[in-house]
Amino acid sequence: MNNRLATLRLFDRFLDSSLLVMVLAIFFGGCGVNAPATEESRRKVCRSNLNSIAMMCKIYSEENSGKYPDALSDLYPDYVSSLMTFTCPNDPTTISSGKMIDSCASYVLVPGLTDQTDKNAVLLREKPGLHEGGIHVVDIGGSIRWVEHSIGTE
């Protein structure tokens, strides 16, 4: 168990450093780059965040008799150590403590899932309005897809 926890923490630190590099590239490497490329970079960070959270949800379920977490805050700090992982780069909200995760995160976790739930069921999604034209959705199987939508139109 200690070996698994050490591996998990090492993996989490790797993801944190990868995320930091991506965020720095967005902010400092954007000179002379057009807006669509910047938005695509931000979407990549979102997909990375969602992928990290989904993988940690899977590990959480393996360690909790097949039950997935009911809230994102269940993952912090044992499974996800960086609060930045819970925030899309397009979201101006800052999460400064673990108590703020469930009310301020850019992502929404579907509660009540188990390892017996259909692998195509939605596990996690972005809050609408962070990216123009759609949201990222993650299923229990780990697939991330883009779902187009129009806010404010019929």
The string of pLDDT tens digits covering residues 115-148 is 999 999 999 999 999 998 999 999 999 999 999 9
Report the alpha-carbon distance of residue 94 to residue 34 in Å, rounded: 26
Q: Write out pLDDT tens, residues 42-70.
A: 999 999 999 999 999 999 999 999 999 99
What's the pLDDT score for residue 139?
96
Q: Do 136 and 46 meet the contact criterion of CB atoms below 8 Å apart?
A: yes
